[in-house]
Amino acid sequence: MSGGLLVAGTTSDAGKSVVTAGICRWLARQGVRVAPFKAQNMSLNSFVTREGAEIGRAQAMQAQACRIEPTALMNPVLLKPGGEQSSQVVLLGRPVGEMSARGYHGGRQQRLLGTVLDCLAELRRTYDAVICEGAGSPAEINLRRTDIVNMGIARGARLPVLVVGDIDRGGVFASFFGTLALLAPEDQELVAGFLVNKFRGDVSLLEPGLDMLRDLTGRRTYGVLPFRHGLGIDEEDGLRVSLRGAVRESAVAPPVGEDVLRVAVCAIPLMSNFTDVDALAAEPGVVVRFVDRPEELADADLVIVPGTRGTVRALEWLRARGLADALVRRAASQRPVLGICGGFQILGEHIEDEVESRAGAVAGLGLLPVRVRFAREKTLARPAGRALGEPVEGYEIHHGVASVEGGEPFLDGCRSGQTWGTHWHGSLESDRFRRAFLREVAAAAGRRFVPAPDTSFAALREEQLDRLGDLIEQHADTDALWRLIESGAPQGLPFIPPGAPA
């Protein structure tokens, strides 16, 4: 068998990533050798594979759902926005330059179709099934001519398509029908049916609408997935909560000690890998919030300046908002601050950037004895070591090269008083290191907080992936889904006018 499926969506954030992960985990539990694939991803949340390739974190998470190591084949094109009009293009795990949206869609994208089809074909030769994720909507008629991630890849590889709709937004029937009706006949014949996501209530009340949708389109609905809190793991497009919401929506055990620990994350522009704080949010008694005002740092026991695709721009934003002054005051009073990647660079004394912002020499906040020079070659690595007496590993994605000129060693960076900085993403997922770091923070903050002795972030991720697999197994027609993956879209599906414009 060499089956496949494309999970498309009526909109961005319809649930394509988690549905793809759920199908992958369901298949893996059946003993199927399965792999994920997304031809083109636009995201500032990325990951480094064992071979040193940069891919979207969503595909790394889906590979984990498949119980396999992620590779560059699973996300051959990654676009990392650097502003409103341009993105860094990462091809097969390596950056190949900056490009405007007009330049990319004006010709470069279509030339990559052969590359992404080759990557998909190689995965299909290796695995029993490949579950592909689309991007945005397949009915973006202005982009169809150059599409390589939705119907372009489906038609090129003859993949059946399942369209996911978020019913929690409302208008799901119109979205399903309209999506189909704006596709060309050759694309419509690959759309096998629909999957309703985030349903609340009694499914029997929805069923008459599903029957009418089948009468209108000739296509069935393969499942109705109920709404579940806390399933938005490693998403692509932005924060999965409102700016001042808690990171974790699902219930967490009460704190082990007498106090909670409050963590404030500066919501800087072009924030990258905000998933770094997920491991903190999984700790009983740790409350994590994203903030954008200096007064919101006042009651925080730890402030994190996260990674960013625009270090100098983020530094300017912090200064304009008054957050820079608040961070300086915190450091002077020995209250904990942690900078990660771009945040680490911001906390240093000096930045020389002729690559990312081309701003030249820029003064940092001066909280760490570090000088940063931006190199054209991007550092992509999977380091491991020890810190605070505990084993720790992470991954690096940065153009900035840091020269540490003082302080105490901390991972690849340094510590000065209660201000810490490192380029390592993902270090807080190392359980023993995370607990040691939180004990340091609690002591400095004067909190009677005690880290839970048995929190395993890896086990929590596995539980979350199993919950996604359970959703598919319990609420989708898995027999029909298997036939779709194995045999392709049913023959003779009707065309729904008007179809795509000429």
Q: Which one of the listed residues 398, 399, 423, 425 is annotated catalytic?
A: 425
Distance CA 324, CA 328 (A): 6
Determine contact, residues 38/133, Cβ cutoff 8 Å: yes
Element (DSSP H or E) covering residue 81: strand 77-81
Distance CA 282, CA 94 (A): 32
Cα three-residue angle 418-424-425, rounded to 5 degrees: 105
Cα 58 to the chain's mean position, in Å?
Answer: 5
Q: Which residues contact 185 (CB under 8 A, 6 or more apart)?
A: 495, 499
Q: Which one of the listed residues 341, 398, 414, 423 is annotated catalytic?
A: 341
Distance CA 131, CA 59 (A): 11
Distance CA 370, CA 367 (A): 9
Q: Which residues contact 89 (CB under 8 A, 6 or more apart)?
A: 77, 78, 79, 95, 96, 97, 98, 99, 104, 108
341 noted as active-site residue: yes
Query: What's the count of helices (H) and strands (E) in the chain, helices before strands?
Result: 16, 27
How far CA 118 is from CA of 31, 39, 74, 156, 367, in Å, comes to 26, 10, 11, 10, 48
Residue type, 47: F
Distance CA 325, CA 494 (A): 63
24 noted as active-site residue: no
Which residues are the active-site residues?
Answer: 341, 425
